């Protein structure tokens, strides 16, 4: 029972969606839309689950006074405050029943503007420094393959700036194929394109076979061990 | 070990914080001095521009804004340029978001561009905002066949049937273009897979530079054109400014990507310097180790 | 000594900020919610950037605040944009319109409105994962999510990424570049045809490298070796583009600090 019902649910839902592609007529087309909408609704419950897990994890750290528990308190206070402000539409210019929760001037909008935005953008901006450090420390021509990788990255980095065009602008038109922008473009639209297309075909085959295994019930890893 | 090799060893083991400092200084100084360089549009960027330009007035364009503040500095300039071009061409804009924060991005362009620069355009008649729905590709799959089944209201809670530009719209199959701005999953790839290819709707758009190489295989059959990162945005801005000279007046407002390409170029050079430096020290030390091994 | 140096540097920075704010060259933190917000955002930005020197309490404060705020932000967005109109609005339309959303399109029930109890039940089951004893029931919801994902992806990847890519490869052999503009005819050129052929050979070589049912020896091995080079070029291009993207993000943050906060540009 613990395994049969979930297996049946997966099989029925998956099969309906596949059949609906080949037979886009009632009842399959309608069921396809309904299942997709149910999926969209359940995705919101996944957010709630995520929030619940966060509270549970950080709550445990606080109650056990683990190292850094104060920072867990910051997480929980931040979480609860934003939840309260968002669910009550606190400070919304049009009141609780009016307009969007993200309406300009609302407290929820201030949270986005002055906390979410700077934190999110800066976290990712840090990667610029680490990419530079990695280029210096790890990007080395140790063998033929690594040398190709290095050379291509070099051409692309130069080719995507004005300097790349400037460096080889003295070349005559008959040697246009040696200019950095031309090389960068051909690398991208011919060789990068080819490599990524091969990878894409491989991934597509992998996903198709994995999806089939899940629908048929061969892959049951999501059910756990008990 | 002689003095030369000691210096090489020192450079080779340089603390990463020195690299950080150089990169930081490169960005800060070049941002302060506002260096700009001319941009020559590449064919893929030109394709996006020509596709939008070729649409007749009143054509329906869906604009999915699937990104958040983490990639905003890279993608906002192209989002702004898309909206300005669509507004200039009098196209009907339908904004949508598959990322929760995408809704804020849409609100940003509506406030900063459409309401400020194009006050004659009216919400609900010339543009509208579907807002955000959870479900990723599930949302795209539904709106390909029936928009109103999922979107009963727009982002502001207005009944969808009361919005004039939704009259006669059942799904997105009749749309003339999907013009996306995307930072990852779900994004441009999902719009191609779940709407463009099955619905035979032209897809064009921009994405982060990280994502761009992975999407090249879709061009040109499943993707009309592709703009990868800030460089492509700068090329697109150059094209728009050439066709509509009023955008050449205020660089900081209309040509943001072009302005940002200055620091970008300087920092690229700094990184190239580090790659070269790292490889020189690596080769010198490798040769030294080989010679020492031969001696033993 | 090191500590004293840090105190002096911090003191100078604070003094400069105070003088600039007092002289009206930059916005004051006490100038309403916008002034305070800009200062708070700038300090959060600097706190996160301080991680570049070393891990420290300021960074950890900003990091933990961001985690809590973003989890709640996503939940709130999901609640107002999907749960209210698409679940509560379908099950109890009049009540939802009255309480939350006056603009709800239709305040009468759909013919099959009761079907929406299914996602509600599955959603509640999913939340049982939070409780030790409810774990197995949450698998029903997980099974639904997996079935939908598998069904949608199977078709999408098969048509767009597998068949679509093979079809495009075959078309490109003819050297035909599709027209971008409606009504335009595909263009033909020998240069395009040459590069398309190079691309097709490169695709085949890379695919050969991924084919592990045959030993990579002889001519097959040599061809798959070309495939490795193609993949290396692909990864090199990917690296170049990654560097580009990350720098753009940093430029954005520096612009915020220099323009919106310090007002020096």
pLDDT single digits (tens) B124-166 = 999 999 999 999 999 999 999 999 989 989 998 888 999 999 9
Model ipTM value: 0.90
In chain C, the number of structural domains is 3
Chain C residues closer than 8 Å to B209 by CB: 241-242, 244-245, 248
CB-CB under 8 Å, B159 with C104: yes
What are the pLDDT digits (tens) for A37-60? 999 999 999 999 999 999 999 999
Test the B interface: residue of C168, C251, C254, C255 with most B CBs within 10 Å: C251
Mutation choice for C interface testing from B210, B262, B266 by most C CBs within 10 A: B210
Q: How far apart are CA B154 and CA B132, in angstroms?
A: 9
pLDDT of residue C178: 58
State which of A27, A43, A67 marks the end of a domain. A67
What pLDDT sits at residue A26?
87
**Alpha-carbon span B150 to B104, nearest angstrom:** 20
Residues 6+ apart with CB under 8 A from C53: B17
Question: Smallest Cβ distance to A104: which of B70, B111, B157?
Answer: B111
CATH classification (class only), B43-254: alpha beta
Tell me whether residues B197 and C171 touch, CB distance under 8 A: no
Q: How confident is the prediction for chain A on average, in pLDDT? A: 91
Strand B60-66 relative to strand B225-228, pairing: unpaired
Q: Does A82 reside within a domain?
A: no
Average pLDDT over all residues of chain C: 89
Q: Measured between CA atoms, how close is A65 to chain B, in angstroms?
A: 33
Closest to A190 in 3D by CA, of C223, B209, C230: C230
- Quick one: tokens of B116? 């400020």
Query: CA-to-CA distance for A38 and A23, rounded, in angstroms?
Result: 21
* Pairing verdict, β B203-207 and B225-228: parallel
Answer whether B209 sits within 8 Å of C244, measured CB to CB: yes
The domains of chain B are located at 3-36+260-295, 43-254
Instruction: Quickly count: other Cβ atoms within 10 Å of residue B135's Cβ.
Output: 25
Using CB atoms, which chains have 3+ pairs under 8 A with C?
A, B
If asked whether residues C31 and C75 sit together in one domain, one would say yes
**In this predicted structure, what is the pLDDT of residue B62?**
98
What residue ranges of chain B have pLDDT lower than 70? 1
Tell me the nearest-neighbour CA distance from B147 into chain C, angstroms.
12
Q: Name the domain count of chain A.
A: 2
d(CA C255, CA C258): 5
Question: What pLDDT does A2 receive?
Answer: 77
Among A12, A42, A122, the residue with its CB nearest the CB of C119 is A42
A99/C contact by beta carbon, under 8 A: no
Reading the block at residue A14, the tokens are: 């998956």
Nearest residue in chain B measured CA to CA from C77:
B100
Contact B72 A139 (CB under 8 A): no
Q: Are strands C176-177 and C187-188 parallel, antiparallel or unpaired?
A: antiparallel
Closest CA to B60 of B2, B157, B147: B147
What tokens appear for A190 in the block? Answer: 């011919």
Strand, coil or helix: B61: strand
pLDDT in the model for residue C174: 65
CB contact under 8 A, A190 and C65: no
CA-based nearest residue in chain B for residue C82: B133
For B245-287, give the secondary structure using H, E and C.
HHHHCCHHHHCHHHHHHHHHHHHHHHHHHHHHHHHHHHHHHHH
Residue C126: which residues within 8 A CB-CB, separation 6 or more? Answer: A42, A45, A46, A49, C138, C141, C142
Query: Does C52 score more than 90 pLDDT?
Result: yes
Rounded CA-CA distance B94/B80 in Å is 15
**Tell me, what's the pLDDT at C107?**
66
> What is the C-alpha end-to-end distance of chain C, expressed in Å?
35
pLDDT at A154 over 80: yes
Last residue of a domain, one of C84, C103, C122: C103
Q: Does the residue A17 lie in any domain?
A: yes
pLDDT at C249: 92
**Residue positions counted in chain A:** 226
Mean pLDDT of the A188-202 span: 94
Closest residue in chain B to residue A163, using alpha carbons only: B265
Question: Cβ(B51)–Cβ(B225) under 8 Å?
Answer: yes
Q: Which residue of B has its CA nearest to A112?
A: B104
Task: Kindly indicate the confidence band of residue C185, based on its pLDDT and cuts at 50, 70 and 90.
Answer: low
Q: In chain C, pLDDT over 90 holds for what percent of residues?
A: 65
Name the residue range of residue C16's domain. Answer: 2-103
In a shared domain, residues C255 and C184: yes
In angstroms, the Cα distances linking B35 to A60, A129, A165, B27, B262 are 52, 21, 17, 11, 5
Nearest to C245 among B74, B132, B159 (CB): B74
Is A72 within the bounds of a domain?
no
Return the pLDDT at A164. Answer: 85
What is the C-alpha to C-alpha distance for residues A44 and C84, in angstroms, rounded to an integer? 11
Q: Which domain holds residue A10?
A: 1-67
- How far, in Å, CA of B263 to CA of B181, rounded? 23
* Chain C environment of A127 (Cβ under 8 Å): 246, 249
The reply to whether residue B268 touches residue A124, judged by beta carbons under 8 angstroms, is no
List CB contacts of C114: < 8 A, sequence separation 6 or more: none
Task: Please give the pLDDT value at position C1.
Answer: 65
Q: Does B16 touch chain A (CB under 8 A)?
A: yes
Contact yes or no for B141 and A104 at CB 8 A:
no
State mean pLDDT over C208-227.
93
pTM beyond cutoff 0.80: yes
C225, pLDDT greater than 70? yes
Tens digits of residue pLDDT in A161-176? 888 888 888 899 888 8
Using CB atoms, which residue from A129, A140, A161 is nearest to B279? A140
Does the pLDDT at position A193 exceed 90?
yes
Q: Is the pLDDT score of A147 beyond 90?
A: yes
User: Is any Cβ of chain A less than 8 angstroms from the Cβ of C162?
Assistant: yes
| pLDDT for the residue B38 | 85
Using CB atoms, pick whichever of C78, C104, C168 lies closest to residue B134: C78
Q: Which of B70, B267, B278 comes nearest A124 by C-beta? A: B70
Q: Would the CB atoms of B40 and A136 count as touching at under 8 Å?
A: no
Q: Does pLDDT of C196 surpass 90?
A: no
Of the candidates A39, A117, A163, the beta carbon closest to that of B69 is on A117
Helices B256-295 and B229-243 cross at an angle (nearest 10°) of: 150
Nearest CA in chain C to B260: C251
- Total CB pairs under 8 A between chain A and C: 397
User: Measured between alpha carbons, how far is B23 from B258 in angstroms, rounded to an integer?
Assistant: 20
In this predicted model, what pLDDT tens digit does every residue of C125-136 receive, in sequence order? 999 989 888 778
- For B36, name the nearest residue in chain A, comparing CA atoms only: A162
Please check whether residue C102 touches B, CB under 8 A.
Answer: yes
Closest C-chain CA to A147? C232
Which one of A136, A153, A176, A193 makes the best mutation probe of the B interface by having the most chain B beta carbons within 10 Å?
Answer: A136
In 3D, which of B179, B5, B198 has the Cα closest to residue B109? B179
Across the A/B interface, how many CB contacts are shorter than 8 Å? 161
In a domain, A87, yes or no: no
Contact with chain B for residue C71, Cβ under 8 A: no
Helices (H) and strands (E) in chain A, counts: 9, 0
Which residues on chain C are in Cβ contact (under 8 Å) with B217? 165, 168
Same domain as C212, residue C155:
no
- Residue in C126, C149, C162 closest to A45 by CB: C126
- Pair C150, C240 in one domain: no
Adjacent-strand bridge partners of B129: B95
């Amino acid at each position: 029972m613990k395994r049969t019902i979930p297996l049946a649910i997966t099989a029925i839902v998956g099969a309906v969606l596949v059949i609906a592609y080949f037979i886009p007529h009632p009842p399959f087309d309608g069921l396809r839309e309904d299942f997709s909408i149910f999926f969209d609704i359940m995705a919101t419950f996944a957010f709630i689950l995520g929030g619940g897990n966060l509270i549970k994890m950080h709550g445990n750290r606080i109650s056990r006074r683990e190292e850094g528990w104060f920072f867990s308190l910051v997480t929980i206070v931040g979480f609860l405050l934003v939840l309260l402000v968002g669910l009550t539409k606190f400070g919304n210019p049009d009141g609780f029943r009016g307009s969007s929760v993200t309406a300009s001037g609302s407290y929820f909008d201030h949270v986005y503007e002055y906390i979410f935005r700077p934190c999110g953008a800066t976290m990712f901006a840090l990667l610029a420094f680490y990419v530079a450090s990695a280029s210096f420390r790890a990007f080395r021509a140790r063998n033929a393959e690594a040398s190709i990788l290095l050379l291509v990255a070099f051409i692309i980095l130069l080719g995507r700036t004005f300097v790349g065009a400037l460096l080889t602008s003295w070349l005559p038109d008959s040697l246009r194929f040696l200019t950095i922008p031309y090389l960068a473009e051909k690398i991208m639209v011919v060789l990068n394109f080819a490599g990524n297309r091969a990878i894409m075909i491989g991934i597509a085959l992998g996903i198709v076979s994995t999806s089939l295994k899940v629908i048929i019930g061969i892959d049951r890893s999501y059910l756990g061990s008990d | 070990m002689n003095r030369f090799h000691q210096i090489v060893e020192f450079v080779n083991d340089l603390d990463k914080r020195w690299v950080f400092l150089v990169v930081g200084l490169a960005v800060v100084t070049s941002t302060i001095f506002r260096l700009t360089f001319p941009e020559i549009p590449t064919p893929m960027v030109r394709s996006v521009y020509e596709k939008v330009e070729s649409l007749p007035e009143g054509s329906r364009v869906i604009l999915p804004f699937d990104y958040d503040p983490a990639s905003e500095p890279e993608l906002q300039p192209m989002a702004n340029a898309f909206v300005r071009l669509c507004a200039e061409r009098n196209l009907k804009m339908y904004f949508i978001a598959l990322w929760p924060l995408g809704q804020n991005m849409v609100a940003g362009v509506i406030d900063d561009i459409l309401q400020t620069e194009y006050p004659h355009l009216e919400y609900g008649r010339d543009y509208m905002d579907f807002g955000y729905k959870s479900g990723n590709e599930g949302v795209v799959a539904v709106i390909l066949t029936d928009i109103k089944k999922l979107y009963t209201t727009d982002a502001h809670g207005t009944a969808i049937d009361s919005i004039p530009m939704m009259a006669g719209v059942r799904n997105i199959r009749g749309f003339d273009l999907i013009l996306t701005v995307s930072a990852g999953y779900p994004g441009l790839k999902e719009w191609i897979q779940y709407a463009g290819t099955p619905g035979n709707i032209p897809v064009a758009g921009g994405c982060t530079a990280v994502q761009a190489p992975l999407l090249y295989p879709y061009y040109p059959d499943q993707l009309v054109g592709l703009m990868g990162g800030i460089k492509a945005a700068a090329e697109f801005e150059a094209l728009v400014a050439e066709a509509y000279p009023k955008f050449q007046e205020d660089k900081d407002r209309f040509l943001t990507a072009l302005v940002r390409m200055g620091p970008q170029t300087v920092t690229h050079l700094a990184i190239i310097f580090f790659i070269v430096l790292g490889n020189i020290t690596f080769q010198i030390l490798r040769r030294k180790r080989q010679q020492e091994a031969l001696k033993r | 000594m090191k500590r004293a140096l840090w105190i002096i540097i911090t003191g100078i920075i604070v003094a400069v900020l105070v003088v600039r704010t007092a002289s009206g060259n930059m916005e004051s933190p006490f100038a309403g919610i916008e002034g305070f917000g800009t200062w708070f955002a700038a300090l959060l930005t600097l706190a996160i950037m301080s991680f570049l020197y070393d891990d420290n309490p300021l960074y950890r404060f900003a990091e933990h605040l961001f985690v809590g705020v973003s989890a709640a932000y996503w939940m709130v967005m999901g609640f107002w944009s999907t749960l209210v109109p698409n679940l509560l609005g379908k099950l109890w339309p009049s009540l939802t319109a009255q309480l939350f959303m006056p603009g709800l399109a239709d305040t009468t029930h759909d013919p099959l409105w009761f079907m929406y109890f299914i996602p509600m039940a599955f959603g509640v089951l999913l939340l049982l994962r939070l409780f030790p004893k409810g774990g197995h029931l949450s698998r029903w919801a997980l099974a639904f999510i997996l079935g939908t994902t598998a069904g949608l992806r199977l078709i999408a990847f098969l048509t767009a990424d597998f068949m679509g890519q093979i079809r495009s490869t075959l078309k490109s052999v003819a050297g035909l570049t599709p027209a971008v503009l409606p009504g335009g005819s595909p263009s033909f050129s020998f240069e395009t045809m040459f590069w398309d052929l190079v691309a097709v050979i490169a695709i085949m070589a890379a695919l050969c490298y991924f084919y592990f049912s045959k030993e990579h020896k002889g001519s097959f091995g040599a061809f798959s070796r070309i495939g490795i080079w193609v993949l290396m070029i692909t990864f090199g291009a990917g690296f170049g583009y990654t560097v580009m993207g990350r720098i753009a993000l940093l430029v954005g943050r520096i612009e915020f600090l220099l323009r919106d906060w310090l007002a020096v540009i």
